[in-house]
Amino acid sequence: MQFAYIPNQTALKEILRQSVQRGHVAHAQLFRGAEGSAALALALAYAQYLNCEARADDAADSCGHCPACLKMGKLAHPDLNFILPTTTTKSVPKDATSAKFAAEWRTFLAESPFQGFNDWMQHIGAENKQGSISKEEAGSLLKLVSLKAFEAKFKIVILWLPELMHPTAANAVLKLLEEPPPTTIFLLVSNEPERLLPTILSRVQPVAVRPFSEDDITAYLTTHYHVPETKARQVAQLAEGNLGAAIASRDQSADHNYAEFFIKWMRKCFSAKMVDVMVLADEFQKMGRENQKEQLSFSLGLLRKVLLYGLDPQLVPHLPSGEQQFVQGFSKFVTPRNADQLTEELNTAHYHIERNANPRMVFIDASLRLGQQLRRA
């Protein structure tokens, strides 16, 4: 993994590079970012940059072709180690530790380093179980770091989702952070660092990873997956910074335009013409449950943009051309007076759709309530 593979994150990449170039590499670092962020990808790229054998002192990235980079890229370097949440499966019926899932982990990351915990559980066939970094992992970890680096300058241990550690494993990690082995670098990658022991947090250098912007996700989907820009922008709006979710949903509902439906829906709600609302409710019912949920999620996001635009147009600098005119006009009807109620109605509709309520009835009920709020503005 090279830094160049990761969209944007320019400032953070420079900080990581400079820490290596200046020789100020902390022995324990916490890459903290939301699910679907660049946290894991940055940790992988940083690990490769640290151990690149042909990197110039001022190089912006690892070389990508030296023996160390080639092994790192395949996740097969003997000095690159992973500790990650696992559970028993058909192929691993007992003593589930990270080492037993090494092959699955390589294929998982080869698909995308922006996936989340649930994606990993599904990948190993354990979607109905609770994964964790087990207490058995503590002994494996202590044995692992007791050995010196085999080939590289640094032995690197990446702990993915350390908030899922069993207390025994957490105490083992804490002991290692208190008395770090020489030339061993611990890179913790966490979605919820507030769940970690305070004593662990106090011994790691934080690396804050910001969510991807809509522009980042749009560009990534168009470049890497050849998704049309209009569709990529729509998926990016739904993803809310989660690149992994955007990649997973890039091919779903390709023929459905969420923005167009929302604009039509809001106009029908405001006019309160029940015949028109009923026709639109039939269209909503035919979408299918997943598209219905995505439509409501998209509606919440676009409603937020409308409110922000009404407060200050500069708060929404990058609106797709197809939405610009609508947002500008609709902002007169979404104000601080009714924004909370409008949001609540959409959230309530989403809640009921998730729980298999009749989508047509949910849509009609939500439409009536939304219309009442819009006419209050």
Mean pLDDT of 296-318: 87
The amino acid that residue 77 corresponds to is H
Mean pLDDT of 25-53: 96
Rounded to the nearest integer, the mean pLDDT of the chain is 91
Do 192 and 262 reside in the same domain of the chain?
no
Do 203 and 268 reside in the same domain of the chain?
no
Residue 126 within a domain: yes
pLDDT (tens digit per residue) in 226-260: 998 888 887 887 788 999 989 987 865 445 678 88
Q: Answer with the residue of higher pLDDT: 211 or 318.
A: 211
Predicted pLDDT at 73 = 94
The Cα 162–Cα 196 span in angstroms is 7
Residue 280 within a domain: yes
Predicted pLDDT at 273 = 84
Percent of the chain clearing pLDDT 70 (strictly above)? 97
Mean pLDDT of 42-64: 94
Do 133 and 7 reside in the same domain of the chain?
yes
Percent of the chain clearing pLDDT 90 (strictly above)? 67
Do 69 and 180 reside in the same domain of the chain?
yes
In this predicted structure, the answer to whether residue 12 has a pLDDT above a threshold of 80 is: yes
Mean pLDDT of 131-157: 88
The Cα 81–Cα 188 span in angstroms is 12
Q: Answer with the residue of higher pLDDT: 2 or 182.
A: 2
pLDDT (tens digit per residue) in 110-123: 999 999 998 899 89
CA angle 11, 14, 17 (to 5 degrees): 155
pLDDT band at 377 (very low <50, low <70, confident <90, very high): low
Mean pLDDT of 217-222: 94
CATH number, domain containing residue 322? 1.20.272.10
The amino acid that residue 200 corresponds to is I
Tokens of 198: 């305070």
pLDDT band at 128 (very low <50, low <70, confident <90, very high): low
Tokens of 66: 């030296």
In this predicted structure, the answer to whether residue 288 has a pLDDT above a threshold of 90 is: no
Cβ contacts of 342 within 8 Å, gap of 6 or more: 303, 334, 370, 373, 374
In this predicted structure, the answer to whether residue 271 has a pLDDT above a threshold of 60 is: yes
Q: Give the closest residue to 46 by CA, choosing from 74, 67, 70, 17.
A: 17
pLDDT band at 127 (very low <50, low <70, confident <90, very high): low
Do 60 and 196 reside in the same domain of the chain?
yes
Do 230 and 287 reside in the same domain of the chain?
no
pLDDT band at 342 (very low <50, low <70, confident <90, very high): very high
Mean pLDDT of 197-213: 96
Mean pLDDT of 177-184: 89
Q: How far is CA 303 from each of CA 136, 218, 255, 334, rounded to the nearest angstrom?
A: 48, 20, 22, 8
pLDDT band at 265 (very low <50, low <70, confident <90, very high): very high
How distant is the alpha carbon of residue 80 from its chain centre?
23
Domain that holds residue 227: 215-248
Do 37 and 71 reside in the same domain of the chain?
yes
Strand partners, 86: 132
The Cα 333–Cα 5 span in angstroms is 42
Do 36 and 112 reside in the same domain of the chain?
yes
In this predicted structure, the answer to whether residue 60 has a pLDDT above a threshold of 80 is: yes
Do 14 and 122 reside in the same domain of the chain?
yes
Q: Give the closest residue to 121 by CA, choosing from 153, 178, 160, 155.
A: 160
In this predicted structure, the answer to whether residue 298 has a pLDDT above a threshold of 80 is: yes
Residue 253 within a domain: no
CA angle 260, 266, 267 (to 5 degrees): 90
What's this model's pTM, rounded to 2 decimal places?
Answer: 0.74
pLDDT (tens digit per residue) in 349-359: 999 998 889 99
Do 237 and 275 reside in the same domain of the chain?
no
Do 200 and 163 reside in the same domain of the chain?
yes
In this predicted structure, the answer to whether residue 316 has a pLDDT above a threshold of 60 is: yes
Quote the number of domains for the chain.
3
Mean pLDDT of 155-173: 95
